[in-house]
Structure 1
Amino acid sequence: MASQLLCFLVLLTLTTICKSKSCHPNDLKGLQDFKSGIHSDTSSRLSKWIGRDCCKWEGIFCSNVTKRVVSISLPGLYTSDDAPIQSAMEGELSPSITFINYLEVIDIGDLLGITGKIPSSIGLHLPNLRKLNFVRNKFTGALPESICMLSKLEELYLQENGFSGFIPWCIGGVKNLRRMDVHSNKLSGVIPESITKLKKLESLCLQENVLTGDIPENIGNLQELKETKVYVSSLPELQSARGGIPLPSKPGKLSSLSFVRLQNNRLSGTIPSSIGYLTSLQRVSLASNQLKGSIPSSIGNLKLLEMLYLSYNQLSGQLPRSIGGISKLLYLSISHNMIEGPLPREISSLSNLQSLDLSFNRLNMSTIPKWLMQLPLLSRIYLAGCEIHGEIPDYIPKSLLELDLSANHLSGRIPAWIGSFSQLYSLNLSKNKFVSEIPSTVTNLDILGVLDLHSNKLEGSVNAVFQIKSRFAEGSLTYLDLSDNNFSTGVEQIGMGGQEYIQHLNLSHNFLKGRLPTSVETLKTLQTLDLSYNGLGANLPTSLANVTALERLMLHKNQFTGRIPEEFLKLNKLKELNLSDNLLEGKIPYGKPFLDFPQSSFSGNRGLCGKPLLPCKS
């Protein structure tokens, strides 16, 4: 009888618990403390956390079996009524979150404003955690070693915070880890060797920290690795044996690897021929390192490769002919190396190539190969500093989006057919020997965003450039540099055309005369204006004060007269100012930002006075 009574009481208790709408006390405490730590929530999701039935709260998910909270999902970017919403929270993460000890997912990424640290006991109290996402917040402090106890953790996203200290030496203990991204923090020290024990690791992103030392040699043992983004900065002097690229020495290893990004390090030595074993590679970036030697012919084995970036190294020799066998290649960049000519004709087989950057090598091209310009999909061509002579050949495809032929020995006129580039967004012909005027057909380039013609021998008017009308309502021309030429007229057209969205305008070192027009005020997005070393005169237009986005204003070495308008004090974003060597007079406007600039910003004007120059005479 007693045993039956006991069973009845137990059953009654369980029934009461099952019917209860109250959370487990630990879960409720953890969630309430989390809410208390947040003082701002633009999504208003936390304001709906009312009552004690936390399993019905927005962003909270509970197990049907245990009735315990297993997921906190409050991402900053989420969908509501089929519309994307970017929300933010401000406050500090409560360490009480570890009370919710059945948690499998914590996703509070992209909330932008949550501070605090990862609780030091996270590995002890959250043994079931599979996903931890703190991306793009303001977390600081070290990564606690107890993370290594999270044996079920599969995804770790801590990028774009302020974490510091070392990557835990025991990280190899997180045996189920598939994705690890801690880029853009302040982590230091070496990459722990134990990371090579993460046999299930598919993606590893460590870039933009201050890590030192070598990439572990045994990283080639990670058979599931598909993507590596390892940027190691502040490295000591490396020997090629350990400072080189740690690739497998035989086929079969890293067979799933599809992305390798090792740019912006101090990797030395050569590109190993064993790179040809990685036949799953789709994207490779080894740019901005200290790699030497030739590009191995085994690169041609990478039949799936779409992007190859090798710029800013010390690579030499010729491009291997085998490169023509990479039929899927879309982007090829080998600029700023010591690659020698001639170019292998096999490049003409790259029928899918869209972007080609051969700039600043030792190619000594003399002329642009016609066969190179016949690649059917080529839309971005960068051949700066390739020792090209003569005039621009008319067989350059007119479907280009970007063309850079700067720093060569091109001469003659800029051809009138340049206006037939109907899709051209960026044109750089600077540092050549072009003469005569800018052709009027340039006005046909109605989606042009970047035009750089500086350091030539062009003359006449700049008017044609200011007549470019964008086919888009929001405009397109954002960067214009015509400096260091022989232009003499057209400055009165500034602000009269379709330049409302221009950000950088440089007409310095010419022979421009006349006055700066009041229409300059229409350039609302202008950040840099450089008209120095010309013959411009008359008063400074007061309307220039309405260009409040200005950060750099260079008007020195002209003949401007009159006073500096008091309204210029509205230019509160100015970081650099030079009005020296003009004919300005009167008191310099007093206040920010002018008080931040040295005497040299105003010197050479005999009539100016007041800070930072000598006081004005009463």
Structure 2
Amino acid sequence: MKLTVACVAVVVLVAAGVVDSCTPADREALVAFKSALTEPNLGIFNTWTGTDCCNNWYGVSCDPTDGRVNDLILRGEPEDKIFEKAGRSGYMTGSLSPSLCALDRLTTLVVADWKGISGEIPSCITSLPHLRILDLIGNQITGKLPDDIGKLQKLTVLNLADNKITGNISPSIVNLGRLMHLDLSNNQITGVLPTDLGKLSMMSRALLNRNKITGAIPRSIASIYRLADLDLSMNQISGSIPAEIGSMPVLSTLNLDSNQITGELPVSLLSNSGLNIVNLSRNSLDGFLPDVFTPGTYFSVLDLSFNKLKGPIPKSLSSAKYIGHLDLRNNHLCGSIPTGFPFDHLEASSFTNNDCLCGSPLLRVC
């Protein structure tokens, strides 16, 4: 029996386990998702035609073995030739349809930087068992985080920054055992941080700045071994800085500025040789500056301005390996400013509005 070329091709595809079209159910879900959105400028949804959503549908990728949709990646910023050609970034209105939840093989969902997408995150999103990346940054999304967000056991990236999300952070978030990147910055989130946030043992970045978070910094954060970047700035956080944070082994950036933090500066914080950027400005920290600086001290930024710190500037600070930006203004510091590096390259503005600091670069003679 002779096989035609077409038949041979079919046999080869079947033998290889390759499917060359998406499932009708996934296509139906995508069409419903599209119908809830309006994108007037670029026409990216004009590519969503025909029965095969796995090929040439903008932003859609499928598993070649079964034709199931794996990735839906729609970014509104100019990272693609379609944006370069149009000479503009994207703009889209509408909402996220719950039909997305029918894409139960989805591993990546990115609908980012479209500026006009509103409505809430569909609560059924937590039923997607394979979801690894959820990125909805840069929209107008409202409502709160799903209460059972912790069901997304495979999630590694949760980025909901620059939206209008309200409500508390669900305590179930600590069940995201694989989460590495958390960004909830620039929203309207209220309430306290979960006390057992330290259970997120894989997390390397936690950005929750520019919200309305209250309460104290959980001590458990210090147990997140891999955490390199912690930003809780511009909230309403109170209480003291847990001393344990100063012992975190890979923490490089700590931004706690513009809160209501009180208490003394932990000695461990300024003696941590791994910390590179520390901004604790605009709080109510008091007590003395710890005299713990060594030749291994290296700060690109050390901002302690607008607090209630008192006493002298530690002379050991002049032994530091490098201090790029030092800001001590608006405190209650007193005494002579040490000489030599790094003080010889700092301007007077770094020391103004203290009780009785004197010496260069201030004009006040000791």
The Cα of 1:43 is off from its aligned counterpart by 2.4
8 Å contact 1:41–1:87 — kept in the other structure?
A: no
Find the counterpart in structure 1 of residue 7 from structure 2.
Answer: none
From the superposition, tell whether residues 299 and 222 of structure 1 become closer, same or farther in structure 2 (CA, over 3 Å).
Answer: farther
The Cα of 1:107 is off from its aligned counterpart by 1.1
The Cα of 1:110 is off from its aligned counterpart by 0.9
8 Å contact 1:115–1:138 — kept in the other structure?
A: yes
Find the counterpart in structure 2 of residue 156 from structure 1.
Answer: 158
Find the counterpart in structure 2 of residue 358 from structure 1.
Answer: 351
From the superposition, tell whether residues 354 and 181 of structure 1 become closer, same or farther in structure 2 (CA, over 3 Å).
Answer: farther
Find the counterpart in structure 1 of residue 242 from structure 2.
Answer: 246
Describe how 1:445-464 pairs up with structure 2 within 5 A.
none
Find the counterpart in structure 2 of residue 200 from structure 1.
Answer: 202
Find the counterpart in structure 2 of residue 261 from structure 1.
Answer: 255
1:292 and 1:26 mapped to 2: Cα distance? Answer: 61
1:141 partner SS: coil
1:145 and 1:301 mapped to 2: Cα distance? Answer: 48
1:202 and 1:277 mapped to 2: Cα distance? Answer: 21
2:191 partner SS: strand
The Cα of 1:234 is off from its aligned counterpart by 4.2
The Cα of 1:277 is off from its aligned counterpart by 4.8
1:19 and 1:175 mapped to 2: Cα distance? Answer: 33
2:124 aligned residue (121, 125, 130): 121
2:307 aligned residue (313, 331, 334): 313
Question: Which amino acid is 2:22 matched to?
Answer: C
Superposed CA deviations along residues 341-365 of structure 1, whole A, max 9, x for unmatched, are 20112xx222895666111112353
Matched-pair identity in %: 29
Find the counterpart in structure 2 of residue 188 from structure 1.
Answer: 190
Describe how 1:398-437 pairs up with structure 2 within 5 A.
none
Find the counterpart in structure 2 of residue 37 from structure 1.
Answer: 36
8 Å contact 1:255–1:279 — kept in the other structure?
A: no
8 Å contact 1:89–1:112 — kept in the other structure?
A: yes
1:103 aligned residue (103, 106, 123): 106
2:202 and 2:68 mapped to 1: Cα distance? Answer: 29
1:290 aligned residue (275, 280, 284): 284
- What's the Cα RMSD here? 2.7
The Cα of 1:41 is off from its aligned counterpart by 3.7
Superposed CA deviations along residues 28-61 of structure 1, whole A, max 9, x for unmatched, are 1221111111123422211211112111211111
Higher relative contact order (CA 8 A, sep 6+): 2
1:275 and 1:39 mapped to 2: Cα distance? Answer: 49
1:211 and 1:287 mapped to 2: Cα distance? Answer: 17
2:327 aligned residue (316, 327, 333): 333
Find the counterpart in structure 2 of residue 170 from structure 1.
Answer: 172
Describe how 1:485-524 pairs up with structure 2 within 5 A.
none
1:184 and 1:211 mapped to 2: Cα distance? Answer: 11
Equivalent residues, number = 351
Question: Which amino acid is 2:109 matched to?
Answer: I
8 Å contact 2:18–2:64 — kept in the other structure?
A: no
Find the counterpart in structure 2 of residue 230 from structure 1.
Answer: 232
Structure 2: give runs of 5+ residues left out of the alignment: 1-9
Superposed CA deviations along residues 121-150 of structure 1, whole A, max 9, x for unmatched, are 2222x1111111111101011111221011
The Cα of 1:328 is off from its aligned counterpart by 2.3
From the superposition, tell whether residues 364 and 54 of structure 1 become closer, same or farther in structure 2 (CA, over 3 Å).
Answer: same
TM-score by length of 2: 0.88
Find the counterpart in structure 2 of residue 147 from structure 1.
Answer: 149
1:317 and 1:138 mapped to 2: Cα distance? Answer: 47
Superposed CA deviations along residues 158-215 of structure 1, whole A, max 9, x for unmatched, are 1111111110111110001111111111111110113110011111111221111111
2:291 and 2:161 mapped to 1: Cα distance? Answer: 36
From the superposition, tell whether residues 69 and 388 of structure 1 become closer, same or farther in structure 2 (CA, over 3 Å).
Answer: farther
2:167 and 2:287 mapped to 1: Cα distance? Answer: 36
2:154 and 2:345 mapped to 1: Cα distance? Answer: 43
Query: Which sits farther off after the overlay, 31-40 or 300-309?
Result: 300-309
1:327 and 1:119 mapped to 2: Cα distance? Answer: 51
2:295 and 2:321 mapped to 1: Cα distance? Answer: 11
TM-score by length of 1: 0.53
2:33 partner SS: helix
8 Å contact 1:172–1:195 — kept in the other structure?
A: yes
1:20 and 1:205 mapped to 2: Cα distance? Answer: 41
2:292 partner SS: helix
2:365 and 2:344 mapped to 1: Cα distance? Answer: 25
Question: Which amino acid is 1:48 matched to?
Answer: T
8 Å contact 1:268–1:292 — kept in the other structure?
A: yes
1:328 and 1:351 mapped to 2: Cα distance? Answer: 11
1:118 and 1:353 mapped to 2: Cα distance? Answer: 50
